[in-house]
A and B are shown apart, each in its own frame.
Chain A
Amino acid sequence: MMTIATLTWIALPLLVGFSIYLLPKLARILALVVSIVSLAYGLWHVFNPAPVVLNLIDSFGVSLLVDQLSGFFILTNAVVTAAVVLYCWQSGKASFFYTQAIILHGSVNSVFICADLISVYVALEVIGIAAFLLIAYPRTDRAIWVGLRYLFVSNTAMLFYLLGAALVYQANHSFAFTALIGAPPEAIALIFLGLLSKGGIFVSGLWLPPTHGESESPVSALLSGVVVKTGVFPLVRFALIMPDFDPLVRFFGVATALFGVGFAVFEKDTKRILAFHTVSQLGFILAAPAVGGFYALTHGLVKSALFLTVGKLPSRDIKTLSKHPIPTTLWIVLAIASFSISGFPLLSGFGAKVLTTKNLLPWQVIGMNIAALGTAISFAKFIFLPHERSQEKVESTTKSTPDMGFWLAIGMLLGGLVLANIFYYEAYTLKNTIKPLTTIALGWLAYLLLFQKLSIKLPRVAEQFDHLIGAMSLVLTFLFWMVLT
């Protein structure tokens, strides 16, 4: 019964994705239906933790594994896709856009249930293609260049991954995740490099800020909300089923959390702050693999809400924004989302932060606390933006007045944020509440006293196209060394 449900659910987006082309009038509705089906499926798995294991085609083995962790990731994917479809409802996008969005949705879903290296490879490549077509949808030179960069980096990363997968097969005659245990160190290093680059983690993740910063808002929301999590998910899975890899994954978690936040604090461009912040939040997911699913859910909801809202702001530069007041309604959305991500009680970002902190190892605690402080600092930039209510000014300052679709999408994301509290309501104790509040207070203090006046422009050399590939080989060497020791 569950087997059939799983197979239908995984095939549905691909089927619907292509039929959207034939029925362009129904595009938006079909896209929405697919995400609602995923939502139901994801919820079912979150509340029924018993894992479903499937083995198709036995000898080479396409093996699937659906459990609570997958459930959380699938839920994130479903909510974010639905929100993006609602957001684009009145934007007059062609059915091509929805086709790609749904195919992307389907392939992201399949990463979340794969349990062997080659299925993950295929799904990640499909994601790369669909994401490229979405980024390049406006067909401007700039969009195409940003898309090409993405495609090139992700394709190179996946080549490394494929090499690693072949080496694993040579050693153990199996593509299953568990075959990594006896695999040679170079194979492990190659596979990790592929996933780290695809997931935008640590130095190999520097391709992410330009890509997410330059794409259209709905596409950025999709990319930041779910697509990067496809690189992270297999790593979390590795750490959970093979304790040997746990320290390695946790190390990269802390490193990327600090790395991303270090850039985000100094950044002045709203979309780039969000993008760098994604890099750091992925670190939080990796830092405590056992509870990464819940963190991924809250981050996906918040980040896509933020990207969608920032897309409606009159400017991208924080300096310009702080001179012209933004509409209060938009400010409220920004503030709620920023509060959640800094871990303010009542929103589920709080539960996720508490849960993650509980699952940290002693050596991680200092690093993660600094990263949490950095988060509070970088989001103080949004919270302290001036805002005003008067409608006449609003009309003149916003590019387009937010419409129904926008509010539905935001309502869904923020509503999800409040509802997600039920997954971990035990977090609400006095002791747990004080710590995030202190962190936020310290962060704001630091922002008002120091960071608001600072105008350091970090060099973007490392983000240049040629250096991205170079950085990848450096990380590979580093990984190889880490796996050996």
Chain B
Amino acid sequence: VILTAIVIGFSIQALMLVGVMKLSRDNPTLECSEIERNNT
């Protein structure tokens, strides 16, 4: 059970990292409010 949770946790972290890296190209400071204003 613990192992499953760890595996899932890490894979989600990895996914988020990829997403954040893509976003950081246009928003280098990664401020939530900035990104939100640009994208909604």
With A and B bound together, what is the CA distance between A81 and B40 in angstroms?
27
Q: For the complex, is A47 an interface residue (Cβ under 8 Å from B)? A: no
Q: Is the CB of B19 within 8 A of A155?
A: no
Q: Binary interface profile of B, 2-40, with partner A (CB < 8 Å = 1, else 0)?
A: 001100100110011001101100100000110110111
A residues less than 8 Å from B38 (CB atoms)? 141
Q: How far is the CB of B29 from chain A (nearest CB, A)?
A: 14
Q: Is the CB of B4 within 8 A of A122?
A: yes
B residues less than 8 Å from A122 (CB atoms)? 4, 8
Q: Is the CB of A144 within 8 A of B11?
A: no
B residues less than 8 Å from A214 (CB atoms)? 40
Q: Is the CB of B15 within 8 A of A129?
A: yes
A residues less than 8 Å from B11 (CB atoms)? 129
Q: Is the CB of A148 within 8 A of B5?
A: no
Q: Binary interface profile of A, 123-141, with partner B (CB < 8 Å = 1, else 0)?
A: 0011011001100100101
B residues less than 8 Å from A121 (CB atoms)? 5
Count of CB-CB pairs between chains A and B under 8 Å: 55
Q: For the complex, is A44 an interface residue (Cβ under 8 Å from B)? A: no
A residues less than 8 Å from B32 (CB atoms)? 464-466
B residues less than 8 Å from A145 (CB atoms)? 23, 35-36, 39
Q: Is the CB of B23 within 8 A of A128?
A: no
B residues less than 8 Å from A136 (CB atoms)? 19
Q: Is the CB of B26 within 8 A of A141?
A: yes
With A and B bound together, what is the CA distance between A146 and B38 in angstroms?
12
A214-B40, A465-B36, A466-B32 known; A148+B23 contact, CB < 8 A:
yes
In chain B, what residue has the closest Cβ to A210?
B40
Q: For the complex, is A313 an interface residue (Cβ under 8 Å from B)? A: no
A residues less than 8 Å from B39 (CB atoms)? 141-142, 145-146
With A and B bound together, what is the CA distance between A142 and B26 in angstroms?
11
In chain B, what residue has the closest Cβ to A139?
B22
Q: Is the CB of B8 within 8 A of A152?
A: no
| Interfacial residues of chain A within 164-196, with CB under 8 A of chain B in the complex | 175
Q: For the complex, is A223 an interface residue (Cβ under 8 Å from B)? A: no
Q: Is the CB of B26 within 8 A of A125?
A: no
In chain B, what residue has the closest Cβ to A132?
B15
B residues less than 8 Å from A152 (CB atoms)? 16
Instruction: List 5 A–B pairs whose Cβ atoms lie within 8 Å, in order of A's numbering.
Output: A121-B5, A122-B4, A125-B8, A133-B15, A144-B19
New A-B pairs, 14, CB < 8 Å, besides A129-B15, A141-B23, A465-B32: A118-B4, A126-B8, A129-B11, A141-B39, A144-B19, A144-B23, A145-B23, A145-B36, A148-B23, A151-B12, A151-B19, A152-B16, A155-B16, A466-B32
Nearest 7 A/B pairs, CB to CB: A142-B39, A145-B39, A125-B8, A148-B19, A465-B32, A144-B19, A155-B12
